[in-house]
Structure 1
Amino acid sequence: MTRTIWRRPLTTTLATTALVAATVLPVATTATAATEPLGDAAARHGKTVGFALDPGRLSESGYRAVADREFSLVVGENAMKWDATEPARGSFSWGAADRVASYAAAQGADLYGHTLVWHQQLPGWVQGLTGTELRTAMTDHVRAVAGHFAGDVEAWDVVNEAFEDDGSRRQSVFQQRLGDGYIEDALRAARAADPDADLCLNDYSTDGINAKSTAIYDLVADFKARGVPIDCVGFQAHLIVGQVPSTLTQDLRRFADLGVDVRITELDIRMNTPADAQKLAQQASDYAKVFQACLDVDRCTGVTLWGITDRYSWIPGVFPGQGAALVWDDAYAPKPAYAAIAEVLGARDDGPGGDEQAPSAPTGLRVTGTTTSSISLAWNASTDDVGVAGYRVFRDGTQVAEVAATSFTDTGLTAGTAHVYAVRAVDAAGNLSATSGTVTGETEEGGGEPTGTCTVAYTASSWNTGFTGSIRITNDSTTALHGWTLRFAFPDGQTVQQGWSAQYAQQGSTVTVTPAPWNTTLGAGASVDIGFNGAHSGINTEPTSFTLDGAACEVA
């Protein structure tokens, strides 16, 4: 397809702000980036710089400020995967995926599709299919999703992670039941659905010349020889500090010589935590090496970072004791890697400037109403030299919301409990005000829990000090639930690190789960499958008690 390179003029200043995760509310801090945005700098080389977007984070001003400023390509971190787009066979949910597409369009950024066929994050109904039925379901899914975004997506990761490290085929449900031909079938279905999108294979640990990358190289060569539609190959590049493969550039170039584009698709570079100056300096050098490798290969379309901030990186949940893998830290401050990337791209120095003045602190914070599960707040508006963008609301020292209005209702609370609230204003540049005064609100006393209206099935697959938790929630009542809330407690201090198909919040041992944009309604008799990656300290006893909207559930 004809590739569009960076169509949006960007502003040239960015204020990044420390977010609050402690029980003491800090004073406002800012840090201003004075270099040209990375997307603008890369465009002069004919490349794009992308990031993996969680659309649910766009309401967070620090996240939004970096996202809006720096990138020329957007990929959905989870929103376009199978469990998000087709949770039930033939029933498609486009909410989160459309939000990703709309954001990319509003930014004038390229939209990259991830992913159509992958053995992970499959809804349960797919796992039960066999033979012809599974092939039909797969090609129907590819056609529906690629067709829905036809004309908008620049390229698709059609098949993700199809190979093992030794170069053999991964024994996924697709490989076991459909055989080698499923990759070709998926590519042909995608081409039929969107003839203009580039079609890619994507995998990890292929960033140097090794058995795995060679197996994919041989497959691409075969596909090109036989006319199977294949336009590009993605190299995930989930790397470790100090271990950028010496053959990275050579590897990219040999694929490009086959007549396909190449891209670094999921770059992060992790380290043993805590980070220190030496590790961050090495990480900066490693990021520079990866970007330089792409610049050195004409058919490398660009580099995508797998997220913005260490605050939400997937790494600690899967690799305990490791993290600090991204370019912005937990507080959205650019790390040394940012300057190293900017230097490689030849980013221009735009000099100081921009809005560095914080808004005034909100005043008059007050409780305006309570129920057994909610507390409503209001406050007086702040002022700012440019304009107030919103307000961050803190419950017991932790941010729970960011709103544009001067009021907020905190829901999903436990009856008969008191909470301390505070509010800070934020402007469009990310400058935070000082903290308002605090106010204490208390939910009304409840009348006991109803029972027997829900069933929860919980399973966990553990390794070392990590695990993947899977939860099936069934609404056994005769009434649909809208905006449901599931709660449970871990018995052994486990923590949720990263989740999918729902939103997860944890305070102490208690986990609160609320729906994703596409599964807010749980019909009578209906079920929803959700999951997460977690960490444990060696003992991983499963929770034995769950409530759904305050009602105790049976545990299957």
Structure 2
Amino acid sequence: MKPSHVLNLLPLVAASPAPVHPHPGFGNRPQPAPGLGDLAKKAGLKYFGTAVDNVVLDNEKYTSIAFNYSEFNQITPANGQKWMYIEPSRNVFNYTLGDQIVDPSKDAGQLRRCHNFLWHNQLPDWLSHGNWTKTALLSVLENHIKHEADYYWGDCYAWDVVNEAFNDDGTLRQDIWLQTIGPEYIEHAFRFARKYTSPGTKLYYNDYGIERVNNKSVAIQQMVKDFGKRGVPIDGVGLQAHFTVGRSPSYTEIRASQQLYTGLGLETALTELDVRIELPDNANKTAAQATVYAESVRACVDEKRCVGVTVWDFWDPVSWVPDTFPGWGDACLWDEGFVRKPAYYAVADMLRKAAGGRKGE
């Protein structure tokens, strides 16, 4: 979920804008059923979803899959709700890119994990280069959350309130928020989010590299414990799950990491799952990828407080991976020809098996 991919593709947004309100039937065309969304619900999850970026909304084959409820019953706007697009100038709000994804997902009856209120990245220049006092930046943060939460009132099952605030060693990331406001900026963001989002909205902390028990995942656990003691609102922790064939955490490791948070009463989700392969691909790598996908989803299914899985897009040509990790790719469930990969069928088979196991509950 790094910015390089979307920034490189931004001219396509301007050249080929998608309609905010899709034409009738958008996302409702016949697809093989049951899809992953249907299977996930039968297996006990709330959803199986995908992130969607604006750069591909003019591709009807893509949108017929992305906004098909049977396949994906949850959608995350990959970039359209981030600060640089929502508030490009101070107190000037533009929801166009967010709406291009939220509107058709609402038409399709899909849930939305909205993403995100606060991040150190993809900030507009007026914010990142401003000369802020603590009081002024807190006011900017509250104003931004207030307006975006109000605009998407009732539209979001969950919000990623704070994204990627920790370093791998468990310390807080040095950024404009920490340097100007101090560590309490995270608490303020969650309190603002609870104040302004619609009742029942789940508030998440979201990060990568926390799918094992390590310095980072334990530091987040300590933050959550502190929040619980002091009444700071937080409902869940998102494990991004950007994995690599040959280096991915095991089923057991993912379960153990989730339990750092579910043991405190929070829900979890795999929020940005993809599994990259060192290119060129081959049958052995593809088979290993399928195993990683299936075991990762199984780790969510088997954790009672894990509510769902979101893949970070489903189609290889729009994956963020090749731009960010040269020499790596093929990270998604569909290949460039919109053919489902072995990973898709491995996940589907695992979900069917899990659903069968629930019959005796």
Q: Same fold (TM over 0.5)?
A: yes
Determine which structure has greater relative contact order: mean sequence separation of CA pairs < 8 Å that are 6+ residues apart, divided by chain length. Answer: 2
Task: Tell me if structure 1 keeps the 8 A contact 2:206–2:240.
Answer: yes
What CA distance in whole angstroms lies between the structure 2 residues aligned with 1:148 and 1:116? Answer: 13
Partner of 2:73: 72
Question: Is residue 206 from structure 1 mapped to residue 225 from structure 2 by the alignment?
Answer: no
Partner of 2:231: 227
What CA distance in whole angstroms lies between the structure 2 residues aligned with 1:266 and 1:158? Answer: 15
Task: Tell me if structure 2 keeps the 8 A contact 1:263–1:302.
Answer: yes
Task: Tell me if structure 1 keeps the 8 A contact 2:28–2:64.
Answer: no
Deviations 1:403-447 (A, max 9, x none): xxxxxxxxxxxxxxxxxxxxxxxxxxxxxxxxxxxxxxxxxxxxx
Partner of 1:272: 278
Question: Is residue 239 from structure 1 mapped to residue 240 from structure 2 by the alignment?
Answer: no
Deviation at 1:68, TM superposition (A): 2.8
Partner of 1:312: 318
What CA distance in whole angstroms lies between the structure 2 residues aligned with 1:341 and 1:259? Answer: 27
Partner of 2:300: 294
What CA distance in whole angstroms lies between the structure 2 residues aligned with 1:56 and 1:141? Answer: 25
> Aligned runs of 1:502-513 on 2, under 5 Å?
none
Q: Which amino acid aligns with 2:292?
A: D
Task: Tell me if structure 2 keeps the 8 A contact 1:167–1:215.
Answer: yes
> Aligned runs of 1:131-146 on 2, under 5 Å?
131=133, 132-146=135-149
Question: Which structure shows the higher helix fraction?
Answer: 2
Deviations 1:324-371 (A, max 9, x none): 1111111111111000010011089xxxxxxxxxxxxxxxxxxxxxxx
What CA distance in whole angstroms lies between the structure 1 residues aligned with 2:67 and 2:172? Answer: 39
What CA distance in whole angstroms lies between the structure 1 residues aligned with 2:328 and 2:221? Answer: 31
Task: Tell me if structure 2 keeps the 8 A contact 1:266–1:305.
Answer: yes
Task: Tell me if structure 2 keeps the 8 A contact 1:294–1:300.
Answer: yes
Deviation at 1:13, TM superposition (A): 5.9
Deviation at 1:309, TM superposition (A): 0.7
SS in 1 for 2:157: strand
Question: Is residue 59 from structure 1 mapped to residue 63 from structure 2 by the alignment?
Answer: no
Q: Which amino acid aligns with 1:140?
A: N
What CA distance in whole angstroms lies between the structure 2 residues aligned with 1:265 and 1:274? Answer: 27
Q: How many residues align?
A: 320
What CA distance in whole angstroms lies between the structure 1 residues aligned with 2:227 and 2:95? Answer: 31
> Aligned runs of 1:386-425 on 2, under 5 Å?
none
Q: Which amino acid aligns with 2:313?
A: G
Partner of 1:108: 109
What CA distance in whole angstroms lies between the structure 2 residues aligned with 1:139 and 1:129? Answer: 17
Deviation at 1:183, TM superposition (A): 0.4
What CA distance in whole angstroms lies between the structure 2 residues aligned with 1:101 and 1:317? Answer: 26
Partner of 1:263: 269
**Are residues 50 and 169 of structure 1, via their aligned partners in 2, closer, same or farther at CA, if it must alter by over 3 Å?**
same
Choose 1 or 2 for highest CA Rg.
1
Deviation at 1:134, TM superposition (A): 1.3
SS in 2 for 1:153: coil
SS in 2 for 1:42: helix
**Are residues 129 and 157 of structure 1, via their aligned partners in 2, closer, same or farther at CA, if it must alter by over 3 Å?**
farther
Question: Is residue 50 from structure 1 mapped to residue 49 from structure 2 by the alignment?
Answer: yes
What CA distance in whole angstroms lies between the structure 1 residues aligned with 2:217 and 2:156? Answer: 26
What CA distance in whole angstroms lies between the structure 2 residues aligned with 1:142 and 1:111? Answer: 17
Deviation at 1:53, TM superposition (A): 1.0
Task: Tell me if structure 1 keeps the 8 A contact 2:57–2:63.
Answer: yes
Q: Which amino acid aligns with 2:285?
A: K
Task: Tell me if structure 2 keeps the 8 A contact 1:38–1:347.
Answer: no
Deviations 1:464-499 (A, max 9, x none): xxxxxxxxxxxxxxxxxxxxxxxxxxxxxxxxxxxx
The more displaced of 120-129 and 65-74 is 65-74
| Percent identical | 40
Partner of 1:164: 167
What CA distance in whole angstroms lies between the structure 1 residues aligned with 2:329 and 2:228? Answer: 39
Deviations 1:187-246 (A, max 9, x none): 111111013311110000001100000000110111011110000100001110132313
> Aligned runs of 1:166-181 on 2, under 5 Å?
166-181=169-184
Unpaired runs of at least 5, structure 1: 1-9, 15-33, 349-556
Query: What TM-score does the superposition give when structure 2 sets the normalisation length?
Result: 0.86
Deviation at 1:139, TM superposition (A): 1.3
> Aligned runs of 1:315-326 on 2, under 5 Å?
315-326=321-332
Q: Which amino acid aligns with 1:55?
A: N
Deviation at 1:12, TM superposition (A): 9.8
Unpaired runs of at least 5, structure 2: 1-26, 355-361
Deviation at 1:11, TM superposition (A): 7.7
What CA distance in whole angstroms lies between the structure 2 residues aligned with 1:130 and 1:56? Answer: 33
Task: Tell me if structure 2 keeps the 8 A contact 1:36–1:347.
Answer: no
Query: What TM-score does the superposition give when structure 1 sets the normalisation length?
Result: 0.56
What CA distance in whole angstroms lies between the structure 1 residues aligned with 2:277 and 2:123? Answer: 30
Q: Over aligned residues, Cα RMSD in angstroms?
A: 1.7
The more displaced of 62-71 and 177-186 is 62-71
SS in 1 for 2:193: helix
Task: Tell me if structure 2 keeps the 8 A contact 1:288–1:340.
Answer: yes
What CA distance in whole angstroms lies between the structure 2 residues aligned with 1:108 and 1:11? Answer: 10
Deviation at 1:35, TM superposition (A): 5.4
Deviation at 1:282, TM superposition (A): 0.2
Deviation at 1:100, TM superposition (A): 1.7
What CA distance in whole angstroms lies between the structure 1 residues aligned with 2:327 and 2:221? Answer: 34
Deviations 1:479-529 (A, max 9, x none): xxxxxxxxxxxxxxxxxxxxxxxxxxxxxxxxxxxxxxxxxxxxxxxxxxx
Deviations 1:269-322 (A, max 9, x none): 101111111000000000001000000111101100001211011111111101
SS in 1 for 2:67: helix
Question: Which structure shows the higher strand fraction?
Answer: 1
Deviation at 1:47, TM superposition (A): 2.6
Q: Which amino acid aligns with 2:280?
A: P
Deviation at 1:72, TM superposition (A): 0.6
Deviation at 1:172, TM superposition (A): 1.1
Deviations 1:250-282 (A, max 9, x none): 111231110111000001110111111100000
> Aligned runs of 1:382-461 on 2, under 5 Å?
none
SS in 2 for 1:346: helix
What CA distance in whole angstroms lies between the structure 1 residues aligned with 2:159 and 2:351? Answer: 25
